[in-house]
Amino acid sequence: MRNKMSRRRRKRERRQAEAIVKSPRRYTGGWGGGPEDVGLVRQAVRQDWPTQFHISQRILREMTTALEIAPDARTVLRVARLFIEIDERHLP
């Protein structure tokens, strides 16, 4: 006898599979310059990664832009914490 799935279960699995296919992949691989890169920049600040001055200035400009176009309050807080940490470490 075949193992029959209920109609409800088939429907649920189909919706889950469609949701996976439809959802865009957020990871850009490296520096995308958006709000999702705040964690990477914060890690670089904490671990004192060496960066050239003109690159660090560009990153700060992009983080300022990310703060202005932040989609939600969580992103605003993440960028604000990043700026506080940069200020505490007296970085340019």
Task: Give the pLDDT mean for 12-24.
Answer: 72
Q: What is the pLDDT of residue 67?
A: 80
Q: Any idea where the domains of the chain sit in the sequence?
A: 7-88
Q: What is the pLDDT of residue 29?
A: 46
pLDDT at 2 over 60: no
Give yes or no for a contact between 38 and 63, defined as CB atoms under 8 angstroms apart: yes
pTM higher than 0.85, yes or no? no
pLDDT: which is higher, 21 or 38: 38
